[in-house]
Amino acid sequence: MALTPVHELQALIHDKIAAAQKPLETETVPLVSAVGRVLAQDVAAPVSIPPADISAMDGYALPVAAAAGSEWKIAGESVAGQPFSGSLPADGCVRIMTGAVVPEGCTSIVIQENVQLQDGVIRLEKDAAEGGNIRRRGEEIAAGDTVLQAGRILRQADIMLLAALGYAEIAVRRKLRVAVLSSGDELLEPGTAGSRTDHIYDSNRYMLMARLAPLPVEVIDFGQVADRLEDVLKMLNKVINQADVLITTGGVSVGDYDFMREAVERVGSIHHYKVALKPGKPFVFGQIMTTWCFGLPGNPVSGFVGFDIFLKAALWQLCGAAEIPQPVRFTAKLAEPVKKNHSRTDIQRGIISRQEDGTWLAAPCGSQDSHRIYQVSRANAYLVLPAESGSLPAGAEVTVQPFAEAFL
């Protein structure tokens, strides 16, 4: 079976989901809980920003544009939340603070640094221009304007905007229900005492749950399933009644006890199996009824890489995001050689650092074997070597993809 290039599999996953996807149901959540959620409908501004003509500076509001040397009597003051309510004589002005409503009839603000004040009278040292230092009602946002569109992943700045418009809650797509499952007779639950050398702790499932935490998903932990076909089939039938997505680790290769692919194929369909990626050649993408299935290899690093390369974008798409967040990639100079002797896209784990001149330096983080968890923990970026690339010498440029959690 020919290996599918990485970009072709990414496109296949996107297109299959797009062809069958139905929007998730809508729910209303408090604004403080909405960051990172996917907006369910367009948001219109119920009020204008600013809501009235307001002063951009501390100073004095004048009824006309005025020339340097003119004098004006202070008739009162306007502060934020307490506007001037009196009448303004022809030679009068109003002391005004930043953010305060401009008194009716005033058309110019002179900043306080440009006046001399004595006995309740100001004398202008510079001309005051018509409309100067006034922020007009609705100049940023007019009531009725669409400010956010459905499908937007709400950011922290969006929460500030929505609060400024008076929203206390907002309609978002419900969380995607994602089941995680590990396959393998050798697996032990962390925290379980075990002395047998043929057992290992289940790190993959915990890795998946940690990687899912920043996304708008509800994680359903199905624990572990033994390497027996009948057990895997029973677990799959249980999962599809509860989850929109199933992510498994292990059981997707060609070993005698790898049953995940066969089980998915028996009760659903397989859209894809092998990808031209190192690490992570075995990769199951399929469907059981309305549940999307992603089968990652049991090697921990393969699962970690596969999540970034394929699953993250697919999950955002399934959550209803209109624009899928893209990883940041740029070039860095290799501090030491990098080995590559195959025709697959190679995602090596590395350490990047910014130099004093603003350029970036990159180096592989130890052995690149797909079982070496410690190297992933030490790394802060991927070194991305395309399929057509070979080994690279020290000093060559390489594409890097920083780990988002490693940089501010």
pLDDT by residue (tens digit) across 306-345?
999 999 999 999 999 999 999 999 999 999 999 998 999 9
Cα 354 to Cα 364: distance, rounded to the nearest angstrom: 15
Q: Where are the domains of the chain?
A: 6-24+175-319, 28-48+150-173, 54-135, 330-406
At 208-231, the pLDDT tens digits run 999 999 999 999 999 999 888 999
At 341-354, the pLDDT tens digits run 899 999 999 999 99
User: Is residue 50 reached through a cis peptide bond, with omega within 30 degrees of 0 on the bond before it?
Assistant: yes
Please tell me the predicted confidence (pLDDT) of residue 155: 97
Please tell me the predicted confidence (pLDDT) of residue 257: 60
Task: Supply the pTM of this predicted model.
Answer: 0.91
| Three-state SS at 18 | helix
Q: What does each C-alpha distance from 345 to 7, 135, 280, 305, 375 come to in angstroms?
A: 10, 54, 10, 12, 19
157: which residues sit within 8 A by CB, 6+ positions away?
none
Bridge partners (DSSP) listed for residue 118: 121
pLDDT surpassing 80 at residue 1: no
Cα 36 to Cα 158: distance, rounded to the nearest angstrom: 10
Report the DSSP pairing between strands 59-62 and 92-96. antiparallel
| Three-state SS at 42 | coil
Q: Please check whether the domain covering 330-406 is classified as CATH 3.40.50.720.
A: no
**DSSP annotation of 310:** I
What is the architecture of the domain spanning 6-24+175-319? 3-Layer(aba) Sandwich (3.40)
Cα 365 to Cα 350: distance, rounded to the nearest angstrom: 4
Cα 315 to Cα 269: distance, rounded to the nearest angstrom: 19
At 120-177, the pLDDT tens digits run 999 999 999 999 999 999 999 999 999 999 999 999 999 999 999 999 999 999 999 9
The residue-averaged pLDDT of 264-288 equals: 93
Cα 297 to Cα 288: distance, rounded to the nearest angstrom: 19
Write the DSSP assignment of 237-294 as a string of letters: HHHTTT-SEEEEES--SSSTT--HHHHHHHHSEEEEEEBSEES--EEEEEEETTEEEE
CB contact at 8 A, 324 and 313: yes
pLDDT surpassing 70 at residue 83: yes
Q: Please check whether the domain covering 54-135 is classified as CATH 3.10.28.10.
A: no
Instruction: Look up the CATH number of domain 28-48+150-173.
Output: 3.90.105.10
